[in-house]
Structure 1
């Protein structure tokens, strides 16, 4: 990864966070909780994927439709995140595989 890639990544992240900050306060709070959960669980392809951008897109559509954030995701943020990540390989999976001697890709 070169310096240009790092700079471009920062630009993209700042643009992403600007979109989050444009959401209503309740959406921002839930987004930050989702982000915290996802960063803790650690999907392997998080940086390559569009998971967080897709969540912001979903939230922007909810705002445009006049729905509250809990109408979109339900009252259990962790369950919502688990549903998003159910078929995603996480670093916990990688660790479990390394200690059990298995390798699944």
Structure 2
């Protein structure tokens, strides 16, 4: 029965991992959270083919932003001057390819907003 249910709704382990990842990102300070969510959105457009591989990538992304927040590393020092290049390089390490120009613009704008929100309140 469990096998049939998982075929219909998907792997429960992966769903639990995704929920843990999203909870970690939501717990980040506002600027870091906005940046991580913007990168997540951009990376999702790369068309993940292997769920486990991409879950690992997102978990690593959460690790990166948690550590940066703990160390007080500014968002710009994480992603550099070109967030798109950062995202594409990050994705390439996990086998990701492809992008959408609109998402490049959104990512750059979100990182700019995140930079201004660092240490501030949600807007």
- Cα deviations by residue, 1:54-79 (Å, 9 ceiling, x for unpaired): 01001111111111222211132211
Distance 1:2 1:70, change over 3 A: farther
**TM-score normalised per structure 2:** 0.62
Could you say which residue in structure 2 is the equivalent of 1:48? 52
Equivalent of residue 28 in structure 2, options 23, 34, 47: 23
- The answer for unaligned runs of 5 or more in structure 2 is 99-123
Q: How many aligned residue pairs are there?
A: 90
**TM-score normalised per structure 1:** 0.71
- The answer for unaligned runs of 5 or more in structure 1 is 93-105
- Cα deviations by residue, 1:4-30 (Å, 9 ceiling, x for unpaired): 563333222211111001101111111
Pair 1:75-2:75 in alignment: no
Give 1:2 deviation, angstroms.
4.7
Aligned residues of 1:43 and 1:85 also touching (Cα < 8 A): no
